[in-house]
Structure 1
Amino acid sequence: MVLNDAAVVAEVRAAFDAYEHALMTDDVEAMDRLFHSAPTTVRYGVGEVLYGIDAIRAFRVGRGGSPQRTLARVEITTFGSAFATANAEFFREGATRRGRQSQSWVRFADGWKVVSAHVSLEGTHA
């Protein structure tokens, strides 16, 4: 297995950047295209736990857009040509607390899709 093939890393980074743009512009259709459309897709957010693409879609439509943020460090790691992880640090506008985002990406016939995602903020505890 080849780790971090430059061409695959570039593909995943392009998909990651497309998702970030869609998130910041509240382009729900684009976000949906970049998440795997399946009941097995999972998204854990700062305040929500979502199982399945239907729950994820309902959340996106109902929230009215994501808080604006600036990305800090982004790390893409690819494992072969069909699986990757993307980990990012971010800062929400007007806040100093760091956020973290992790995504698992899989290459499907119709492109790279997120199959699992997790978003959290430093200093938040259950």
Structure 2
Amino acid sequence: MNVNLPETLASVTAAFEAYEAALMRNDVEALIPFFWQSPQAVRFGATENLYGWDAIVNFRQNRQPPLPRTLMNTVITTFGEDYANISTEYRNSAGVCGRQMQSWVRTDAGWRIAAAHISLRPEIS
């Protein structure tokens, strides 16, 4: 297994950064394609469990815009050329701290989030 091949790491990092930028702009039309268009896609949020691409799209279209946030301790690890895990912590402008983990897969359409888990925590040391 090849871990963190430079070209693969660079391409998934660029996709993650584009996702984060779209999230901070609350650009729903840009955010939706970042998720794997499959009934097997999963997103566990701080207050919701979403199963399947349709549920994720519905959530995105009806969600309030997120507060600006700063990412910390982001770790991107690729396995081979088509799979990556991305873990990060964040603090939003209201001082709320959280964690986010995503599994990304390379599809014919590019990198897509197959699974995501977001959780809140009172503080980050």
Band of TM-score, shorter chain? over 0.9
**Match of residue 26 from structure 2:** 26
Q: 2:66 & 2:57 partners in 1: Cα distance?
A: 13
Q: Quick one: percent identity of the two aligned structures? A: 46
Task: Name the aligned partner's letter for residue 58 of structure 1.
Answer: N
TM-score (norm 1): 0.92
**Match of residue 4 from structure 2:** 4
**Match of residue 60 from structure 2:** 60
User: CA offsets, 1:92-118, max 9 Å, x none?
Assistant: 1121x4210000000001100000000
Is the 2:32–2:60 Cα contact (8 Å) retained in structure 1?
A: no
**Match of residue 119 from structure 2:** 120
**Match of residue 109 from structure 2:** 110
Structure 1: which 5+ runs fail to align? none
**What's the offset of the Cα at 1:32?**
1.1
The list of structure 1 runs, each at least 4 consecutive aligned residues, that deviate by more than 4 angstroms after superposition, is none
CA RMSD of aligned residues (A): 1.4
Residue aligned with 1:3, SS: coil
**What's the offset of the Cα at 1:90?**
0.4
TM-score (norm 2): 0.93
